[in-house]
Amino acid sequence: MSGSIIREKPASFGSIRQNNATNGGNSPLKLFTHAKITITDIFKNISSYVNDSNIYMTDVIKSNRNLITTDKYKDIQQLKEKVNRILSIISRDHMKVVFFGRTSNGKSTVMNAMLRERILPVGMGHTTNCFLQIEGTDRIEASILIPGSDEPKSVNNLSSISNALSNEKVDSDSLVKILWPKEKCRLIRDDVVLVDSPGIDVSANLDQWIEKYCLDADVFVLVVSAEATITVAEKKFLHNVAQRLSNPNIFILMNRWDATANEPEMVESVKQQHLERGLEFLCDELHLCDRKEATENRMFFISAREALLNRNTDPTTSPRSGYNEGYKERLVEFSKFEHEFEKCISKTAVQTKFEQHTNRGKEIITLLCETIVNMINKSQTIKQECQEKLIEMEEKNIFLEHELRSVTDSAKERIRHVSEDVYKRVAQTLNDEIKRLYTLIEEFDRPFTSERNQIPLYKQDLHRWVEERLGSNLQNRLHTALHNSLDTVHKEIKERVKTVLTTNERRSDVDSIVPRSNFTISYRLDCSNLCSDFHEDIQFKFSLGLTSLWERFMQNEKQPKYTSSSFLNSSNDLLTT
């Protein structure tokens, strides 16, 4: 009989409900969950990479190698905070759906059916007068958060929620959050946030609603009563949404379709009328999709009451009325809506929520890679320049070593010539002075005494006198010539060294080198050793005898030669000293 009410819940749909409730492994919502886990792991790796890069670049900036600019270094240092901020946003990201429509069209009932439990109050006297957001919590007990309060209030059951909402005075554009335990509902456990709105005919602040609660929504569900049609206010709201959001995902639910069981002959014609109006609005006015897509996946004819009755696990809270004729098709339609809704919201949320994060992660990695590549290229350039400089320095060192050896050999050769010249000059001068030795002895003014103990003292004074006067004469005659020779050698060495140097500054440093001012030439004759074999004979002898005269004559002939020879032989000692 058409229009009859079936009081008993079919076992087959009860088992289907249980299987659907427990079988969440194949849910399209897992796409968002897996994407969230994946992108979280990716950004954790990016965070580690950024930390390592910051440590490396801090060492680079301290090395003063000019591999990275200060501004670029500051930009890299700020990436850590940006990555942490993105990770914090990802942890709070969720899929969001907003239900809207006129008052008493069954928005709360649709949400309860999707949540498989009567969470929101429905029925006579229970109309939603503000925005209600249902989201998951890890706590065991449910709670409600009223605007203006920082501490959520615990609620144990549906009546507690109703009392909490009725006791609080909230505006129609206020948001009340219901924190429901995740373990009780698969939809919430998969990071879906559901927002119930007051009737669209309650307030004219549609733009304010959209700005506050709809800009981050992934899906919009328009709940329309099958006994009415889409109103101008509902169309205006969706037009405003389409203007602010690019290609919003909109589902239209023709609720309370079970009422058509009383007039089965009119079902198809009424359905075609609603379908045509809905397609005209979605496809021709909003241009959101084509008619085939809208017919198959955007408009559904359901009974939220029957779906909730089929899924509710608490018989004491089930609606009093049962199933109407044709409920099986409506339950299948509702399940189809849920499946399409889950596919759409999961796909859209991944794009809207994570695409921006993905692009930002790519930008961060690109910035780091470009910076590292630039640093590597600069370091390679510096390395190549250093290698070229090293080769150039090695070549210069080889050249300098060769030149210095040449300069050293030349200086040694020049010094050898100077030494030979000095030797000749000293020998010649010493020979001249020896010939005048008798003059020095005559200038010695100490009286001679024949006493034995005074003769050694007399000889010491005489030796000292001869050494001092002879050395003084040699120095006076040779000093200028020797210093001139040394100055000439110094100048020649300087000029040779200057030819090796490459910069004028270093050449000037060579010119500023002054020979040691304390350089002096000393002569040590050591007359004591030279006259060590001389033995004086002061005994009286007859000087007019033939023998005596002959000896004196022979002694005078030999004495100058002997003395000159002795002093000439001693010149080697003089030069070596």
* CA 95 to chain CA centroid, nearest Å: 33
In this structure, the answer to whether residues 282 and 321 fall within a common structural domain is: yes
The C-alpha atoms of residue 202 and residue 103 are separated, in whole angstroms, by 8
Q: Report how many domains make up the chain.
A: 2
Task: Please report, to the nearest 10 degrees, the dihedral formed by the alpha carbons of residues 468, 470, 471, 477 taken in order.
Answer: 140
Residue where one domain finishes, among candidates 317, 346, 375: 375
Q: Which string of DSSP letters, residue by residue, matches 436-462?
A: THHHHHHT--PPP---TTTHHHHHHHH
Mean pLDDT of 405-426: 83
> Is it the case that residue 300 has pLDDT exceeding 90?
yes
Here the tokens at position 463 are: 């030796």
Contact 309, 322 (CB under 8 A): yes
Q: Which string of DSSP letters, residue by residue, matches 125-151?
A: T----SEEEEEEESSSSEEEE-TT-SS
The Cα angle at residue 145 between residues 143 and 150, in degrees rounded to 5: 115
In this structure, the answer to whether residues 368 and 483 fall within a common structural domain is: no
Q: Which string of DSSP letters, residue by residue, matches 516-560?
A: -TT--------HHHHTTT---------TTSHHHHHHHHHHHHHHH
In this structure, the answer to whether residues 330 and 422 fall within a common structural domain is: no
pLDDT of residue 443: 76
The C-alpha atoms of residue 507 and residue 349 are separated, in whole angstroms, by 77
> Is it the case that residue 275 has pLDDT exceeding 90?
yes
> Is it the case that residue 46 has pLDDT exceeding 50?
yes
In this structure, the answer to whether residues 333 and 430 fall within a common structural domain is: no
pLDDT of residue 566: 44
> Is residue 289 one of the residues assigned to a domain?
yes
Mean pLDDT of 484-501: 79
The Cβ-side half-sphere exposure at 385, using a 13 Å CA radius, reads 7
Here the tokens at position 113 are: 């059916």
In this structure, the answer to whether residues 259 and 321 fall within a common structural domain is: yes
Beta strands of 289-399 (E only): which ranges?
299-301, 323-324
pLDDT of residue 539: 63
Q: What's the domain range around 163?
A: 5-375
> Is residue 389 one of the residues assigned to a domain?
no
In this structure, the answer to whether residues 226 and 172 fall within a common structural domain is: yes
pTM of the model: 0.63
Q: Which residues pair with 300 in a beta bridge?
A: 253
Residue where one domain finishes, among candidates 343, 375, 407: 375
> Is residue 36 one of the residues assigned to a domain?
yes
Instruction: Using CB atoms within 10 Å of the CB of residue 470, give its burial: 0 to 12 exposed, 13 to 18 middle, 19+ buried.
Output: buried
pLDDT of residue 503: 76
> Is residue 31 one of the residues assigned to a domain?
yes
In this structure, the answer to whether residues 290 and 413 fall within a common structural domain is: no
> Is residue 180 one of the residues assigned to a domain?
yes
Cα distances from 91 to residues 14, 33, 88, 190, 354, in angstroms, run 36, 11, 5, 13, 11
> Is residue 303 one of the residues assigned to a domain?
yes
Q: What percent of the chain has pLDDT over 90?
A: 24
In this structure, the answer to whether residues 191 and 227 fall within a common structural domain is: yes
In this structure, the answer to whether residues 515 and 425 fall within a common structural domain is: yes
Q: How confident is the model over 373-414, as pLDDT tens digits?
A: 998 998 899 899 999 999 998 998 888 888 888 888 888 888
In this structure, the answer to whether residues 338 and 474 fall within a common structural domain is: no
Q: How confident is the model over 182-203, as pLDDT tens digits?
A: 888 888 989 999 999 888 776 6
Domain holding 203: CATH number?
A: 3.40.50.300
> Is residue 305 one of the residues assigned to a domain?
yes
Contact 218, 345 (CB under 8 A): yes
Which among 214, 281, 273 is positioned nearest to 252, based on CA atoms? 281
In this structure, the answer to whether residues 302 and 443 fall within a common structural domain is: no
Predicted confidence band of residue 168 (pLDDT cuts 50, 70, 90) = low
Q: Which residues pair with 255 in a beta bridge?
A: 225
In this structure, the answer to whether residues 363 and 402 fall within a common structural domain is: no
Residue where one domain finishes, among candidates 346, 375, 404: 375
Contact 157, 184 (CB under 8 A): no
